[in-house]
Amino acid sequence: MIIDTMYLFPLIGVDIKDDLLKAIYENRVKIKLSINDIKINLISLFELQAKASKLNIPPKYVTRGLRVILKRFDVIPFYRDDIIEVAHEVNKILRDYIDSIIISTGISLKENLITQDSIIIRNREILAEKYGVKIYRYEDIATK
């Protein structure tokens, strides 16, 4: 399962309403999903750093979170040929290149994705039909 960047925020000390990692840890998931099943794209680490800077998160929290991510999760490079090719196509639908890279990672790896991004959610049927990837929201995967 590819997770969108927002689900990494708790690892840098930012509370989020839909904490997927906590739901997995507490066994509140509706599908078979463990921490070991999580994959992220390397570009999410950049995006996480940029958003942390915008939110004035102390750098020590960011670097600690990044170390946890790199140690614990399968981090997929954004510069793989297959991901770049698909991202170029997906970007025509989404118009956000970072999101296109994250979606393309799922498509290239034949992995589903979880996101709360409204633009991705609005286009999930198109993406599923064209690329065979399922896109879930937190509510689809976890219980409160």
Q: Model confidence over 64-91: pLDDT tens digits? A: 999 999 999 999 999 999 999 999 999 9
Residue 111's pLDDT is 96
Residue 126's pLDDT is 96
Q: What domain range is 128 assigned to?
A: 2-141
Residue 59's pLDDT is 97
The total number of structural domains in the chain stands at 1
pTM recorded for the entire structure:
0.93
Residue 144's pLDDT is 80
As a 3-state breakdown, the chain gives helix, strand, coil percent values, each rounded to 5, of 60, 10, 30
User: Cα separations (Å) of 109 from 42, 75, 78?
Assistant: 14, 12, 12
The parts of the chain modelled with pLDDT lower than 70 are none
**For the domain that residue 56 is a member of, what is the CATH number?**
3.40.50.1010
